[in-house]
Structure 1
Amino acid sequence: MRDPRLLVINPGSTSTKVAVFQGEQVAASETLRHDAAAIAAFSRIFDQFDMRKEAVVEFLARAGFAMNQLSAVIGRGGVLPPVEGGVYEVDDAIVEALYEHGWNHASSLGGLIARDIARAARIPAYIADPVTTDELDDVARYTGLPEIERRSVFHALNQKAVARQAASALGREYHDCNLIVVHLGGGISVGGHRKGRVAEVSNALDGEGPYSPERSGTLPNTGVIRLCFSGDYTEREMRRKITGQGGLVAYLGT
């Protein structure tokens, strides 16, 4: 019996990474870059669905794989209610949750594109380590205001994969290690991994941590308050300034 052939889809803020695995071996892979101006033209993340799915299908054609040659499709886990890290099959409940909670993050397209391709091929679709993976210590949820509680939203898929690689390089198991992991991409997140759980992490979606290519990062509170009450921006526009149109994009326009 041949090893399963998996299509893996990892949408990020400015790119979609795709690969076909034969067992544990990479049969084909590519990073599909998306023009910043094209991304900015979409008012909602879900409006990018057709563009990104078409790019994935074109990758399969270039790589010489037909959909009926796949065993399963797995996408990056998107913005869901808080869950433990792990692998989940994409069912109707997960699709509904992605549409309800994941409007402003590209990772939410991972499960949706995976399921759409999988349904056409009549194979299962999965997601792994959603960005809302929540393993925080209780003390890590405190902020400087009791009305505001910190959330766990970060690059869980990449952080946990890199943490496992680092543990392997050390000759140890991930669940036996204490590690600090940094994801550098369109957004940046910094996580403290303790014995296989991400006990503390910066919320890269809500504006915590350093600024990045397209996110504002932590800002002076009074400056944000001034912008919010200036009358120049709606709530939605302010959210876009923090995630999507902040950071280097805000300074350089590209």
Structure 2
Amino acid sequence: MKKIFTINCGSTSTKVAYFHDDILMSKVSLDISSEQLKQMPKTLQQLELRTGQVRAFLTENHLDPKEFDIIVARAGTIPAVPTDGAYEVNALMLASVTYAPEAQHASTLSCLIANELVKDLAVPVIIYDPTCVDSADPIAKITGIPEITNMPVAHLLNTKMAGITYAESINKNYKDLNLIIVQLGGGITLGFHDHGRIADWIYDDEGPMSPQRAGRIPTRYLANLCYNSKLTLQEMRMYLCGQSGLSAYFGTQDVRDVEKLIESGDEKAELVLHALAYGVAKGIGELSVIRGGEVDQIILTGGIAYSERITKWINELVHFIAPVTVIPGEKEMEALAAGGLRVLNGEEEIHPYTVYPKGYSSIEEIINNPSFLA
């Protein structure tokens, strides 16, 4: 029996779970209040608090890190890696996410907390299925601005798990199928999984609006918004990718609240929520063409996939492309544990992490000349 501990840091909570092989033994979401977050606006300022919360969970549940066979952390905002799967949490990764992260995001703290738990212990720590796997078709990364290359970013962890789950349900291998998989959450991302490889994608800032994201905005409007606003660059980024979408329209990111408005006769609420589903359907149609319409299945997953209203709206528009399967919820902790178990069983190798942040060629350079602190 393998003892596996998983860590997944989100913006307002740290999810941790303990597994015996693939059996979930305990799981909890360690929340952080809005007042605490206001006092720690920079991501790294939260490390001590979050690590303390995790240690308290371990103590309360009589769990000792030295007895773990592996700790699997959600990947942070690291430079794009060449393939999916497991990567070692090493000195380069720790320095990169501490001193030169690609962006400020709480997920970055997952591997740092894991490293704190096993200092001086012979317990391996890995990340699994990071969001930034550079496996896309080269043509998908070309933009109309030569200085900008559109690098792949996607909710790989849960969508890949959904793809594997679907494939197993029809007694096939995930890597034998062409799948369009949609992550319906606070941000909405879509990916074309070509026999296990993300060939193309639509990230949450370039597709449909979502509960927290503005989604794709025509450049003529976006330029005006940015230049006419008094918001700083960071504030504008937070608005577009955290405070817009349903949150901007209704003051809530909970789809269930919007559906209650619809049920009370609010026509605007129905129009806006329908527009969200409409945008998802457009994104599915956009991705369907990259292999000439050869799509075996469309899969809708994530928390919003529990909404029968939204999945029905999407299905009505895209079922002509391929059949639609709904796998609601998020199984990120299970996906992390499953990846760790495959590593422990020798079914997968741990990839060495060797990707330096742009502009750096050594760990010393990263530590001594950080571009900015998170």
| TM-score class normalised by the smaller sequence | 0.7 to 0.9
Partner of 2:233: 235
CA contact (8 A) 2:79 2:102 kept: no
Matched to 2:5, the amino acid is L
Distance in 2 between the 1:31 and 1:185 partners? 17
Q: State the 1:248 CA deviation.
A: 3.4
Q: What fraction of aligned residue pairs are identical, expressed as a percent? A: 34
Unmatched runs of 5 consecutive residues or more in structure 1: none
Distance in 2 between the 1:245 and 1:22 partners? 39
Q: State the 1:44 CA deviation.
A: 2.4
**Structure 1 residues 15 and 171: CA distance shift in structure 2, 3 A:** farther
Q: Tell me, yes or no, if structure 1 residue 162 matches structure 2 residue 155.
A: no
**Structure 1 residues 37 and 222: CA distance shift in structure 2, 3 A:** farther
Q: Tell me, yes or no, if structure 1 residue 134 matches structure 2 residue 149.
A: no
Q: State the 1:85 CA deviation.
A: 0.8
Q: State the 1:67 CA deviation.
A: 2.5
Partner of 1:226: 224
**Rg comparison, structure with higher value:** 2
Q: State the 1:110 CA deviation.
A: 1.6
Matched to 1:199, the amino acid is A
Normalised by the length of structure 2, the TM-score is: 0.61
Distance in 2 between the 1:9 and 1:132 partners? 18
CA contact (8 A) 2:66 2:118 kept: no
Q: State the 1:91 CA deviation.
A: 0.5
Partner of 2:330: none
Q: State the 1:164 CA deviation.
A: 1.4
Q: State the 1:152 CA deviation.
A: 0.8
The superposition leaves residues 34-71 of structure 1 with CA deviations (integer Å, 9 ceiling, x where unpaired) of 44565465432223323332332233234332223322
Normalised by the length of structure 1, the TM-score is: 0.87
Distance in 1 between the 2:43 and 2:210 partners? 19
Q: State the 1:199 CA deviation.
A: 0.8
**Structure 1 residues 45 and 94: CA distance shift in structure 2, 3 A:** same
* Further displaced range: 141-150 or 93-102: 141-150
**Structure 1 residues 39 and 215: CA distance shift in structure 2, 3 A:** farther
Query: Which structure has greater helix proportion?
Result: 2
4+ residue stretches of structure 1 with deviation over 6 A? none
CA contact (8 A) 1:73 1:117 kept: no
Q: Secondary structure at the residue paired with 1:186?
A: coil
Q: Secondary structure at the residue paired with 2:106?
A: coil
Q: State the 1:136 CA deviation.
A: 0.8
Matched to 2:179, the amino acid is L
**Structure 1 residues 144 and 40: CA distance shift in structure 2, 3 A:** farther
Q: Tell me, yes or no, if structure 1 residue 75 matches structure 2 residue 99.
A: no
Q: Secondary structure at the residue paired with 2:211?
A: coil
Count of residues paired in the alignment: 250
Unmatched runs of 5 consecutive residues or more in structure 2: 254-374
Query: Which of the pair has the greater relative contact order for Cα pairs under 8 Å at 6+ separation?
Result: 2
**Structure 1 residues 250 and 50: CA distance shift in structure 2, 3 A:** farther
